[in-house]
Amino acid sequence: MDDEAAGARTAAGILRRQSLRESGARTYARSLPVVPVRARGMTIEGADGRRYLDCLSGAGTLALGHNHPVVLQAIREVLDSGAPLHVLDLATPVKDAFTTALFETLPRELAERSRVQFCGPAGTDAVEAAIKLVRTATGRSGLLAFSGAYHGMTAAALAATGDTAVRGAAGGSADATVARLPYPYDYRCPFGVGGELGAELGARLTANLLDDPKGGIQPPAGMILEPVQGEGGVIPAPDAWLRRMREITAARGIPLIADEVQTGVGRTGAFWAVEHSGIVPDVMVLSKAVGGSLPLAVIVYREELDTWLPGAHAGTFRGNQLAMAAGAATLTYVRENGLAGRADLVGGRMLARLRGLAAHHPCIGDVRGRGLMIGLELVDPRAEPDDHGALPAAPHFAAAVRQEALRRGLIVELGGRHGAVVRLLPPLTITDEQAEAVLDRLADSLAAVERMEPSDDRASGQ
């Protein structure tokens, strides 16, 4: 008991100092006042001794959960070997092994004739590199990107991101070279029809704008898309739509960039999410899970695009040996143990149970996802539905569910256009029992929020 009280005091002190000393831009730390001190698999233990099931997984980074033994072993081996930890972009056995492991997982057509560029450590660095690469290779500057997209927080990646609030706040850097196209979003279909037709109308609009000499689109160097939008609200693109985007871009000589930063490494039930549709992009952007929990980001692209001259894309931190070792171990473990298939199976079961839950909770407007990338769009059931039957998003409700979940030892985050989508990104190693526990806690949290009076502070997100 004394230990617990002391732990709680330590945690409170750390959180207080964080709020006083860290930037106003801090994000997760605001809604998740947890001070992690230990973690294993899906479980995080806070300084106050409380344990949580982590369904955020470092924003989708931890394919194998926290501190997986094969990852720790790989890191230890590098440390014990006396290998240098910092090597710029020099060749090392560790990097060689990572590249081999990566190429073994890639779609064959790409693996056979591609190049890899090790970028700065974050996903956004790899997105920048991809955009710069296609601009160099094509000599064009335009970029096709989608509504709801999230590609990162640095200049070109931010310009491709759909959120005008963050773009505007960064000095109005809404890049005039970026054309915004509609992403197929069944529940809130921009054409009011949803389904295959809604997706097809988006594809036609895209082709039409590209072919119209007065369509207002700057000649595009590339098209960038997420096969499943993550931050945009867990929206899987229909396979047929992805194939249409591939046809449209291929027919017009426009390189297609698949941002698999969040969807990669088994997350969606295939090793790479593009495999569901069978398309082969010209550039793949990879980060998060490829570093096995440490920072690593690469782009893989067709050989023909490699028009870069020496030094065209440099950077000091492109040789993180520990991340490469952890990443290689993760890629190999996911592949050898069929964890993409496991994600598909468990994710499918979780989606089915959530759909059952939606029948009893009118605040769940939509349940969607692919593999272990799952989202629940929360809505206001007292409001009037639109023509297509969709209810207005309920971000305060979602924030209250996140808070109630935390009280019940479950870490979830929000996403979506209105911040009203509760997102589940558990590790691919989640057990059946853990999946049940996650859904039980989530169901209890939803019920608790529904019981609150509308004027209740927590339900109104204050």
Nearer to ligand PMP (CB atom), residue 150 or residue 185: 150
**Closest distance to ligand PMP from the beta carbon of 119 (Å):** 10
DSSP 109: H
Question: Between the CA of residue 42 and those of 129, 146, 461, what are the distances in Å?
Answer: 32, 33, 27
Nearer to ligand PMP (CB atom), residue 231 or residue 380: 231
Angle formed at CA 441 by CA 188 and CA 33, multiple of 5 degrees: 85
**Span 199-238, contacts to ligand PMP by CB under 6 A:** 226, 230-231
Instruction: Give 214's contacts (C-beta < 8 A, 6+ positions apart).
Output: none
**Which residue in this structure is represented by tokens 């394919």?**
63
Residue 375 sits in the site that holds ligand PMP (CB under 6 A): no
Q: Judge contact between 209 and 174, C-beta under 8 A.
A: no
Cα(177)–Cα(170) distance, integer angstroms: 17
Residue 329 sits in the site that holds ligand PMP (CB under 6 A): no
- Given 68, 151, 396, 417, the residue binding ligand PMP (CB under 6 A): 151
Cα(104)–Cα(116) distance, integer angstroms: 13
Nearer to ligand PMP (CB atom), residue 271 or residue 397: 271
**Span 90-119, contacts to ligand PMP by CB under 6 A:** none
Number of Cβ within a 10 Å radius of residue 17: 10
Three-state secondary structure readout of 280-295:
CCCEEEECHHHHCCCC
Q: Judge contact between 135 and 322, C-beta under 8 A.
A: no
Residue 124 sits in the site that holds ligand PMP (CB under 6 A): yes
* Residue 74 in tokens: 């790989």
Stretch that binds ligand PMP, among 87-95, 148-156, 345-353, 440-448 (CB under 6 A): 148-156
Residue 150 sits in the site that holds ligand PMP (CB under 6 A): yes
* Residue 187 in tokens: 């529940």
Site string for ligand PMP, 3-42 (x = CB under 6 A): ----------------------------------------
Nearer to ligand PMP (CB atom), residue 126 or residue 363: 126
**Span 45-74, contacts to ligand PMP by CB under 6 A:** 59
- Given 47, 63, 127, 449, the residue binding ligand PMP (CB under 6 A): 127
CA nearest neighbour of 300 among 268, 330, 264: 264
Order of all β-strands in the sheet with 410-411: 36-40, 43-46, 51-54, 410-411
Cα(186)–Cα(18) distance, integer angstroms: 40
Phi then psi for residue 221, to 5 deg, are -80, -20
Nearer to ligand PMP (CB atom), residue 46 or residue 292: 292
Nearer to ligand PMP (CB atom), residue 264 or residue 319: 264
User: Taking CB positions, which residue lies at the least distance from ligand PMP?
Assistant: 123
Nearer to ligand PMP (CB atom), residue 330 or residue 434: 330
Residues 70, 76, 81, 87, CA torsion sign: positive
Residue 423 sits in the site that holds ligand PMP (CB under 6 A): no
Locate all alpha helices (DSSP H) within 32-141, ordered by sequence. 57-60, 69-81, 93-105, 108-112, 123-138
Stretch that binds ligand PMP, among 123-131, 177-185, 208-216, 308-316 (CB under 6 A): 123-131
Cα(248)–Cα(243) distance, integer angstroms: 9
Strand partners, 374: 369, 424
- Given 114, 206, 262, 321, the residue binding ligand PMP (CB under 6 A): 262
Residue 152 sits in the site that holds ligand PMP (CB under 6 A): yes
Nearer to ligand PMP (CB atom), residue 290 or residue 400: 290
Stretch that binds ligand PMP, among 150-158, 314-322, 362-370, 378-386 (CB under 6 A): 150-158
- If 0-12 CB within 10 Å is exposed, 13-18 middle and 19+ buried, where does residue 87 land? middle
**Closest distance to ligand PMP from the beta carbon of 6 (Å):** 35
**Closest distance to ligand PMP from the beta carbon of 9 (Å):** 33
**Closest distance to ligand PMP from the beta carbon of 3 (Å):** 36
Residue 259 sits in the site that holds ligand PMP (CB under 6 A): yes
- Given 114, 117, 277, 287, the residue binding ligand PMP (CB under 6 A): 287
**Closest distance to ligand PMP from the beta carbon of 231 (Å):** 5
- Given 258, 261, 325, 405, the residue binding ligand PMP (CB under 6 A): 261
Nearer to ligand PMP (CB atom), residue 61 or residue 434: 61
Chain contacts with ligand PMP (rule: CB under 6 A): 59, 122-124, 127, 150-152, 226, 230-231, 259, 261-262, 287
